[in-house]
Structure 1
Amino acid sequence: MNTSDDMQIFLTYGDIALASSLILVVLMVSWRLRLHLTKTLLMAALRTVVQLSFIGLILAWVFAREQWYEVLSILTIMTLIAGSAAKNRVKRRYNGLFIDTLLAVSVSAVLVTAIAIMVILDVQPWYTPQFVIPILGLILGNSLTAISLTSNQLINAFYEQQARIEMMLSLSATPFEAVHEQVRTAIINGMTPTLNSMLVVGVVSLPGMMTGQILAGADPTQAIRYQIVTMFLICVSSTLGCTISALLTYRRFFNKNQQFSLP
């Protein structure tokens, strides 16, 4: 660990190695309690180091060049991976699930990121990698979690409440009226982690983005302002993502004759 005159701390590879040794505590807990998570923990730790190191090299290269097509390529890859990750977290799958999750993730995250970059922060040019890549990554990570929670909740509800939905349809309800309660519950379920985070931020928890900025030597007041903006961006993106996902998903469970049909 090295320090400069203004008390900014620079991490060395030795510091990272020391921090990684703490994983041994987690492995010991897993072994003693027979959690059978040893392989998963080791793989997660290894992937964390490899993936972040790799993306660090790429970002350093992209930041130095600042070419719009390179930035756009990275944003596209990030969005595709987020859509795939959201799909993989859904236990009961159906044909077209990847398209639905990708649309929900991309529309919500890209739209909110565009507003943040072009309107709120007024970044010039818009493809400045220092801003657009971290913001989109932050929003994508939270959106895919919210979308996968919504999809899981809604699909499970369709399977468990098939009789109720069909009864509603038999009473002349439209497809959306028949599944409105399930859609509403699924969206609320997807939004819950974001809302819970907003309720305790600054009181119980200090978000990673703000903590990272402060540790890097940024002005705490500016770090807090950035965190407030990002929390609102995440909230809007998660809401849009959950809503789009729910609306796209429920349509997959009705045929052309407006009949409820499980995949």
Structure 2
Amino acid sequence: MEQAVLSWWHVLEASTFVFIAAAISMMLGMRIELSLIISGLRCVVQLSLMGYVLDDVLQADNVGVVMLMTLVLVVLGTYEMVFNRTKKTFKGMFPLMFVILFISNCFVGYLGSAFALMEKPFWTPVKFIPIIGMLLGNSMSSIAMATETCLDHVSTHAPLLETRLAYGATRYEATLPLAVDSIRMSLLPIITQLSVMGMINIPGMMTGQLMAGTPMMQAVIYQQVIMFMVAASSVFGVVMAVVACMMILVDKQQILRDDRILDNKPIIRSASVVKLASKIQHLSCYSCFSRRRHHDSSHGNYEVVEMK
């Protein structure tokens, strides 16, 4: 079956769904319309740039180029996770999360590619780079959730932790219940994804292989291997992130250092974006007020509506 050739016009047609969702958000006052539009623009720009770059990288038979591209993906994933995915942070979070993402994803990616998928060499660009991309896309969400949950737990339960430490508990004993809860919560999406795979959810990689003409069972086996790799990288990354956070927030002297927790302001939400959002909200409220005043006057009711 001949595959249809798509163009930028088809991308523009598909983008109307995002604008419809943004319009619904504006009408209901959910205030996520700018986030939807900005994320959609980022998706188009980032995927287009990646398409131009990866076209040359995937054809390069050079381990140095593959490792450099892997390093770039890890840096970009760390940047997105630290500055745009978490509401709380601490000093030195970026290098720490970079090391965690690099170790968890590259280690699992190497083992899966070399042994489970039997790629020779394991760094074959057309396989290794997409695998690293899929591992990063899933694990960074789990690690970001684990980190934020851990920091929230420490902030909320600071008196409880201080009491435990005051009664002689080590930092391992004092933080273990909160750490376990953070790990459980952050891994729930991965567990759910594994449980519905193939029954409700038809994964994207399997769909792409089928569209490319890969036999059904080969596509199924590849997807199963990839999903187990995703689960493994997420578990390793989440555990390392939670342990590192607890060690930073409770020092070697068994003293709680919740003063190290800082509020994180996402870089993507610049001042101009916030001003634009407030202007849109103001115009929306003014439009609603005008319609309300017109409706009241048409019914002989001239009650003044105070806007706050």
What range is the shorter-chain TM-score in? over 0.9
Letter in 2 for 1:189: M
2:60 alignment partner in structure 1? 65
Amino acid at match of 1:236: A
Between Structure 1 and Structure 2, how many residues are aligned?
Answer: 258
Shift of 1:79: 0.7
Q: State the shift of 1:86 in Å.
A: 2.0
- Give the drift of 1:110: 0.8
Using the TM superposition, give the Cα deviation of residue 217 of structure 1 relative to its aligned residue in structure 2, in angstroms: 2.9
How high is the sequence identity, in percent, across the aligned residues?
Answer: 26
Unaligned runs of 5+ in 1: 1-5
- 1:56 has 2:51 as partner: yes
Paired with 1:186 and 1:38, the residues of 2 have a C-alpha distance of: 30
| Greater Cα offset, 34-43 or 73-82 | 34-43
Query: Secondary structure at the residue paired with 1:10?
Result: coil
Partner of 1:87: 82
SS at match of 1:251: helix
Match of 1:3 in 2: none
Question: CA offsets per residue over residues 191-228 of structure 1, 9 Å max, x none?
Answer: 11100111111111111211222233322222111111
Letter matched to residue 32 of structure 2: L
C-alpha distance in structure 2 between counterparts of 1:257 and 1:229, whole Å: 44
Bigger drift between 185-194 and 7-16 goes to 7-16
- 1:165 paired residue number: 161
Counterpart contact for 1:84–1:101, Cα < 8 Å: no
* Code of the aligned partner of 1:40: S
Given candidates 28, 31, 36, the residue that maps to 1:36 is: 31
CA contact (8 A) 2:165 2:174 kept: yes
Shift of 1:249: 0.6
TM-score (ref. length: structure 1):
0.92
Partner of 1:228: 224
* Residue 92 to residue 22, structure 1, CA distance change in 2 (3 Å): closer
Superposition RMSD on alpha carbons, in Å?
1.6
Which letter does structure 2 place at the counterpart of 1:186? S
Name the SS of the counterpart of 1:259 in structure 2.
coil
TM-score with structure 2 setting the length:
0.79
Secondary structure in structure 1 of the residue aligned to 2:88? coil
Is the CA contact 1:104–1:147 (under 8 Å) kept in the aligned structure 2? no
Report what 1:204 is aligned to.
200
Q: Which runs of 4+ in 1 moved over 4 A?
A: none
Of stretches 228-237 and 44-53 in structure 1, the one that deviates more from structure 2 is 44-53
